[in-house]
A and B are shown apart, each in its own frame.
Chain A
Amino acid sequence: MKKLCISAIACFLYSSGAFGAGFQLNLQGLRQLAMANTGTAWAWDASSIFYNPGAVSRLEGMQVYGAVNFVMPSVKYVQTPTGGYSAETKAQTFTPFNLYFGGTLKKHNKIGVGIGVYTPFGSGTKWDDNWQGRYINRNISLQSFFVQPTVSYKINELVSVGAGFIYAFGNVKIEQALPVQFATGADSKGTLEGNANGVGFNLGVHVKATEKIQLGLTYRSQVKMKVDDGNATFVVPSSLTANFPNTNFSTKLNLPDVITFGVGYKVNTKLIILADLEYTGWKVYDSLVFDYKTNTSSLADTRTPRLYQSVMAIRLGANYQIMKSLSVSAGAAYDPTPVRDGYVSPELPDANRYVGTVGASFSPMKKITIMAALEFVTSDKRDATFLPANFSGKYQSTAFTGGVGFAYHF
């Protein structure tokens, strides 16, 4: 009779927020970062391969460009309704990078070509092993790399267009405690680890309306990242190993499409002001399905609602040319959250974000530019519940990013 009960243990795996909004990295170029990630309307350098493929044919000659960022995110959780318990994520540094090679093969050529490698999504959250929300998430990390070969054509002085094909690959690792305890009182553990890949494209139009005004419009498509043979591994008491077999899993994570419209205005020979409106189609991310190859009474496939909403971010930046070899930049942005109330999970708790940036670029000699940027992001203090796990709390997240890079103009 009594053995009946054992089979009924169902441990829901919440692992689901991967590729959530907080994982979007707006760090694909240092000048752009220094101006709160504006840049659709301005052809600064080879990073236009990402920011506006249409502007690549505006570049004068070929460039090689490399940058690395050091991202230090931090999240604090305070239990609600009455506090008393709080937790902070462990300090981690992530290093998304970007490499571009592209431009026009000759000066004043109508055709621009290029290839870029960049990391538009990635980050991680690591909580203490015994923290209160460990059955929802203990550790999540995500990396993605986009490779984008690009062509660009300058139709005339006014309009240029460009297109890039995107091959994306990456990996995801999620670890959570399972609420099944060993005789010692220790928790069980589940780990999901997998490689993902997908394809997409990046389209752009660049308009040089007047000597003072430039416009840009880009569309970066959805990228459906597929994880096919991910590994699900479980550390459980020996009496339950049959319930939690190590198995493979598959899932699909849809990275949203992004439409950006940008305006650039050259106030005078020294000052340029840029503004971008960025619409991210998070709506595609309405639920997440995990399909385990071996199902047991304890390990069922999961379908978690996410119900993200699409959002519009506003970005403003300015660049001031102090002298011929040195310019400084600053910017500010507002990034509204795509995550609705009831779906804010501790994997990467999302809230409206405020961004402030500064940076400088310096050309010690004609062909070389050295760039640096700093970004600080802070979120609203958000009182939220993750309904699928009935986990409530107040969150605030911040991130500090420093980036350095160089460009060489052939």
Chain B
Amino acid sequence: MKKIYIVGLATLSLAACKPNLEPASPSKGDADFTTYVSVGNSLTAGYADGTLYRSGQQSSYPSMLAAQFKLVGGGEFKQPLLPGEAGYPGLKRVLGYSTGCDGVTALGPVLYSGTLDTTGSSANIAAGGPYNNVGVPGIRCIDYTTAGYALFNPYAARFFTSPFEKAVTQATKINATFFSMWLGANDVLGYATSGGNGAVSGTGQSDISPLATFTSVYNSVVDSMTARGAKGVLINIPDVTSIPYFTTIPAKGLVLRQGQADSLSAAYAPLGITFTAGANYFIIQDAAAPGGMRKIHDGEYIILTTPSDSLKCAGWGSRKPIPKNYVLSADEVTNVKDATAAFNNVIAAAGAAHNLPVVDMNAYLKTISSGTIFNGVTFNATFVSGGAFSLDGVHLTPRGYALAANYILLTINNKYHSTIPMVDVNKYSGVRFP
């Protein structure tokens, strides 16, 4: 009897030794997360490393949000998943070694050379839908109500019921109780990534979308999404000029020895351009400058896709100007910033009109670009090593998407008085090294 008592006491005391700290149970607050639909473009689809592939889609911020929503009553979240990892339609980029024209082998993004597991990627999978994640890489806001858009977009063609279906129809197929909408980045990105060669107000792929069209389409999509009483969250568009796509190649990246500087100075003497030993500004094409070329200025950008062999061996930026479709000049940067601000005003107004919170992703991505630290991991906009941006310099890594998801959750929790737990950012990958 006595023995049993002692054993019992010992067990009791050992059990009491454990910390009894428990998290509060999450609550959905004033919103209903039962059926969640995510509207957007490549960022929403989980696009990364220059293409779309299965594990990228599985690490999309909407799928992370959906997993957290499940903790407060959220249901199934269907994505139009690709069958493989290689990338569709193009191959993804991975880190690897390549030898440049100068014979130097260096680590950098190279095309994936693993198993081609892309069979069936182009098959239409609308029968498996409707899908909760209707993010379509490449889609602009102004495309969202265009019938027949899927004829020109392979991603839309995969899961739209008919090529003549409007994106907004696809997005409202599911009767969402909650939606997120991150639309509009491509309405300015196409202009920026093509070096600002398009029109400031046009409907071509490298134009900045006309503000009036953007405004009316954006508002009509929000109207459609909220027509049946859904609550949701709007996400504004980032100022792309702080992303690695524009910041990786430095303006003052032309490094010269004395002899090279002297001969270039001699060659450019008629234009009054001089060079010194050390770092110099690259020479770029500019129709308005004497001789059609000048030195690039700080605050102007050379895009990431500028052929590096041409820079290294073909005299681009030194003997020859870098062609203008690879350069975002000061005027073009202003156009990008103005358009971004104007579109974000439209988004903010739509949020106010519909009582929807707006995630200031523009501001948040700026904090990531300028350097931030979270759970022991540092993030910045440095290409490859910065951790948040994938190998295309535009889209995020899974870890970067997780940061974005948490920022969206903060806004949702704040607005709807919910206490949805944050995503475990460190569960996801950053850039992987060979």
Q: Which residues of A contact B (CB under 8 A)?
A: 1-6, 8-10, 12, 14, 72, 74-76, 78-79, 81-86, 88, 130, 132-136, 179-185, 236-240, 374, 376, 378, 381, 389-391, 394-400
Contact = CB atoms under 8 A, between A and B. Distances in A.
B26 A84 contact: yes
A185 B432 CA distance: 6
Contact of A82 (B19, B97, B421): B421
A168 to B, nearest CB: 30
Contact of B108 (A3, A84, A381, A394): A3
A8 B376 contact: no
A182 B26 contact: no
Most buried by A among B20, B23, B107, B424: B23
Nearest to B106: A3
A183 B21 CA distance: 37
Interface in B392-434: 413, 419-422, 424, 426-427, 429-434
Nearest to B409: A82
Given A2-B109, A10-B378, A239 B433 contact: yes
A79 B422 contact: yes
Contact of B375 (A82, A86, A183, A390): A390
Given A1-B311, A2-B308, A179 B384 contact: no
B246 to A, nearest CB: 14
A78 B22 contact: yes
Contacts of B25: 83
B434 A179 contact: no
A132 B23 contact: no
26 contacts: A1-B311, A2-B109, A2-B384, A9-B385, A14-B376, A72-B17, A75-B19, A78-B22, A79-B422, A82-B23, A82-B413, A82-B421, A83-B24, A83-B421, A84-B421, A86-B22, A132-B375, A180-B433, A181-B431, A183-B432, A239-B97, A239-B107, A381-B21, A389-B373, A391-B376, A398-B17
A131 B366 CA distance: 28
B21 A82 contact: no
Nearest to B377: A179
A2 B432 contact: no
B68 interface: yes
Nearest to A388: B373
B434 A183 contact: yes
User: Which 6 pairs across A and B sit closest by C-beta, in order of nearness?
Assistant: A84-B421, A83-B23, A135-B376, A3-B106, A2-B108, A237-B433
Nearest to A382: B21
Contacts of A239: 95, 97, 107, 433-434
Interface in B338-384: 372-378, 382-384
A238 B24 CA distance: 43
A135 B375 CA distance: 7
A240 B433 contact: yes
A182 B430 CA distance: 10
Contacts of A133: 375-376
B173 interface: no
B319 interface: no
B68 A84 contact: yes
A79 B170 CA distance: 37
Contacts of A86: 21-23
Interface string B1-27: 000000000000110111111111110
Nearest to A130: B427
Contact of A5 (B19, B383, B427, B430): B383
Contacts of A400: 13-14, 17
A332 B385 CA distance: 52
Contacts of B372: 390
Contacts of A81: 422
B352 to A, nearest CB: 26
A182 B432 contact: yes
Contacts of B374: 390
A374 B107 CA distance: 58
A179 to B, nearest CB: 4
Most buried by A among B23, B71, B375: B375
B387 to A, nearest CB: 7
Given A3-B106, A181-B433, A88 B19 contact: yes
B231 to A, nearest CB: 19
Given A8-B385, A79-B23, 17 more contacts: A2-B383, A6-B106, A6-B107, A75-B19, A82-B26, A84-B422, A85-B421, A85-B424, A132-B427, A183-B432, A183-B434, A184-B432, A239-B95, A390-B372, A390-B376, A399-B17, A400-B14
Given A82-B413, A381-B21, A181 B421 contact: no
A398 B424 CA distance: 25
B312 interface: yes
A389 B249 contact: no
A76 B22 CA distance: 9
A396 B19 CA distance: 6
A239 B374 CA distance: 25
Contacts of A391: 375-376
Contacts of B17: 72, 74, 376, 398-400
B426 A2 contact: no
Contacts of A135: 375-377, 426
Contacts of A179: 376-378, 387, 426, 430
B366 to A, nearest CB: 17
